[in-house]
Chain A
Amino acid sequence: MVSLLSKRVVVTGLGAITPIGNTLTEYWEGLLGGRNGIGPITLFDASQHACRFAGEVKGFDPHDYLPRKDAKRMARFAQLAVAASKQAIADAQFEIDDLNAERVGVILGTGVGGLKVMEDQNEVLLTRGPSRCSPFTVPMMIANMAAGLTAIHTGAKGPNNCTVTACAAGSNAIGDAFRLIQQGYAQAMVCGGTESPITPLSVAGFASAKALSTRNEDPTTASRPFDRDRDGFVMGEGAGILLLEELESALKRGVNIYGELIGYGMTCDAYHMTKPVPSGMGAMRAIELALQDGGLEPDMVSYINAHGTSTPANDPTETQAIKKALGDSAYQVAVSSTKSMTGHLLGGSGGIEAVATVMAIAQDRVPPTINLTNPDPDCDLDYVPNQSRPLKVEVALSNSFGFGGHNVTLAFRKYSP
């Protein structure tokens, strides 16, 4: 539990580059409208792959955010991160200057980092020899470079870190940044997740692990969390970033406060590399810890942005976890998986889903789970099927679970003095 001396942490800026929109407004309107971001893979020739579709970011031009030469020396996951971070900082009207730079930090999560760079350079290594490998191979590939480059391009000189907890990485980044501000180590933190995993090796590997949907004949209905006919997740790419700020700093600046981050729960299944523990106990404990951390009772929760991957294993397990953690209140809560629209951004998902969760609180609207036409009897909660709805959202949770058994829950609350 956090001491009484700990600082309150609020969200004052949001940034999002996603398969359904490249700004916060486009993304949020897309979510409310049930926009579908899934289509055939264009980033590489996927004709030999078992899965040939994904949620790609469309029309993203890194030069809108970065000088040409810098953009060329950055992998796509880092470009997306810097762009979304700049959006969030601008949205918060936050100026990083000589006076505050050392108190502003960055924590960004990613699952696979610059995998594409490694694939390309490995090809160079094998076909043309070691002397032809780019000097940018390592700096472009390493997972922490999104956080490093975001600092370089924004001037944030405070705490800087990278979480690499697979599909929980974005949420871990936000939770860890929350703690740093709570404990007084930073005034503001740029945090969230980024991912650009749509590469030949990554799609092949996830497909071999039987994690991906292979509904190639109808990609737009492939991501169907909690539906009986789901057959795996759909990969997505993008970045979602929050500007977290100490409450006093936000009040002093007189800026818009989207909501308050009040709880962070983190556990591990300690069970299997890729499968969630069937009882859902690891995820349940993460939810319970986030509630305890925020001083919340189960009946105070209005909305949960589920991990909801659309894999056979996740959705009923997560449903059980929610029911065990919230008890009877579980049936009163709106639960949706926005992955039905964006696909699964792996380490980026915690970022864009925290953005959606905060917007639900700020606007009192909850996004739907689309493609939910034939509910799985083992998934019996209110998943906000197919249509967004107005709902007074006082407290909302965002769940993220990752390969390795990582479980993370973030708890947000409407801001009140």
Chain B
Amino acid sequence: MNQEIFERVQEIVVEQLDVEEEKVTPQAHFQNDLGADSLDTVELVMALEEEFDVEIPDEAAEKIATVEAAVEYIDEKLKAAA
């Protein structure tokens, strides 16, 4: 897992979901562990899109359940664009 991307994702999740940084581990599940509801999730995805200047389609966003999944998805997108 790309550490730099993880740290940027972590920072956004802390800000968006108002959770403590220690809780935002790679394995953390957005809904089960970090208290995100359906509206929070939409807003979080939008924030990630802005931060990394990538597009995350709804079908992809629905499958991203954990912090690590988000980091992996963004990493692949960035590599594909490079």
Contacts and interface: CB of A to CB of B under 8 A. Distances in A.
Contacts of B80: none
B78 interface: no
B11 to A, nearest CB: 16
A314 to B, nearest CB: 41
Interface in A99-154: 131-132, 134-136, 139
A255 B17 CA distance: 40
Interface residues of A, number: 11
Contact of B18 (A69, A134, A135): A69
B39 A68 contact: no
Given A68-B18, A69-B17, A132 B46 contact: yes
B43 interface: yes
A275 interface: no
Contact of B39 (A67, A131, A132, A139): A139
Contact of A136 (B18, B35, B39): B39
Interface string B26-62: 0000000001000100110010000000000000000
A135 B39 contact: yes
A72 interface: yes
A69 to B, nearest CB: 4
A328 B35 CA distance: 64
- Sorting the interface of chain B by its residue count into under 10, 10 to 19, 20 to 34 or 35 or more gives under 10
Which of B17, B35, B39, B42 is packed against the most chain A CB atoms within 10 Å? Answer: B39
B43 A136 contact: yes
Contacts of A139: 39
A409 B17 CA distance: 44
Secondary structure class of chain A's binding surface, majority of residues = helix
Contact of A135 (B17, B35, B43): B43
A134 B17 CA distance: 15
Contacts of B17: 69
Interface in B1-30: 17-18
Nearest to A71: B18
A67 B42 CA distance: 20
A68 B20 CA distance: 12
Contacts of A69: 17-18, 35
Interface string A73-99: 100000000000000000000000000
A139 B42 CA distance: 14
Contacts of A73: 39
Nearest to B44: A135
Contacts of B42: 135
Nearest to B50: A132
Contacts of A135: 39, 42-43, 46
Contacts of A134: 43, 46
A28 to B, nearest CB: 35
A211 B72 CA distance: 57
Contacts of B39: 73, 135-136, 139
A72 B18 contact: yes
Contacts of B18: 67-69, 72
Contacts of B35: 69
A68 B15 CA distance: 10
A67 B18 CA distance: 9
A344 B42 CA distance: 37
Nearest to B19: A69
A298 B21 CA distance: 65
A118 B19 CA distance: 27
A72 B40 CA distance: 11
A135 B35 CA distance: 17
Contacts of A136: 39, 43
18 contacts: A67-B18, A68-B18, A69-B17, A69-B18, A69-B35, A72-B18, A73-B39, A131-B46, A132-B46, A134-B43, A134-B46, A135-B39, A135-B42, A135-B43, A135-B46, A136-B39, A136-B43, A139-B39
Interface of A: 67-69, 72-73, 131-132, 134-136, 139
Q: Which 10 residue pairs are nearest across A and B when measured between Cβ atoms? A: A69-B18, A135-B42, A135-B39, A68-B18, A135-B43, A136-B39, A134-B43, A132-B46, A69-B17, A136-B43
Given A73-B39, A135-B43, 12 more contacts: A67-B18, A68-B18, A69-B17, A131-B46, A134-B43, A134-B46, A135-B39, A135-B42, A135-B46, A136-B39, A136-B43, A139-B39
